[in-house]
């Protein structure tokens, strides 16, 4: 009897946590523009690794800075991984504004839909931006969610990108 109650409480707690996560994602503050600055730091083991920081201008006129996103390793696109982190933390609400049908297709499975590669839906309760897919994918992803992604500057040890909401790509 007590085990059944304990299991019921655990399930209820897990469900509430999932509902809170979804509510938090849907209620992210609407973004006007994001400037993403990536500084490449040398690692003896992994070559150059991105240290990414974003400046976010919100629709309500407020401003914020992201934490510093980092990744290391080899065998995948590290730059798009940190860009995905920024998109997850500030633009996930855009994915929840899309219908279930319009979000299909983006994760390379057989669900045949209009979403560009890099938009992922694992279940009806999970929508995400993929990392490790190549930075070029974010140009189409940004356009699909109603914005524009552009490279502002690039050098040997830095890259600067900008996402602007509500602007069509030329």
Report the pLDDT averaged over residues 14-23.
Answer: 92
Q: What share of the chain has pLDDT > 90, as a percent?
A: 67
pLDDT at 110: 58
Helix axes of 78-96 and 137-144: crossing angle, nearest 10 degrees = 10
Model-level pTM?
Answer: 0.89
pLDDT exceeds cutoff 90 at 107: no
Residue 114 has pLDDT above 90, yes or no: no
pLDDT tens-digit profile of 38-89? 999 998 888 899 999 999 999 999 999 999 999 998 878 999 999 999 999 9
Bigger pLDDT: 9 vs 107: 9
Rounded mean pLDDT, 153-165? 96
């Amino acid at each position: 009897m007590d085990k059944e109650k304990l299991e019921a409480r655990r399930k209820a707690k897990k469900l509430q946590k999932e509902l809170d996560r979804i509510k938090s994602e849907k209620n992210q503050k609407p973004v006007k523009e994001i400037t993403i600055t990536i500084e490449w730091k040398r690692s003896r083991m992994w070559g150059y690794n991105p240290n990414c920081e974003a400046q976010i201008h919100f629709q309500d006129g407020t401003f914020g800075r992201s934490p510093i996103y980092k990744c290391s390793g080899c065998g995948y696109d590290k730059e798009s991984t940190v860009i995905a982190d920024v998109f997850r933390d500030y633009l996930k609400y855009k994915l929840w504004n899309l219908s279930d049908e319009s979000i299909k297709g983006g994760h390379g499975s057989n669900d045949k839909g209009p979403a560009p590669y890099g938009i992922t839906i694992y279940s009806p309760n999970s929508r995400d931006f993929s990392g490790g897919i190549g930075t070029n994918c974010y140009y189409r992803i940004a356009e699909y969610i109603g914005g524009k992604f552009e490279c502002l500057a690039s050098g040997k040890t830095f890259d600067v990108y900008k996402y602007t909401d509500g602007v069509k790509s030329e």
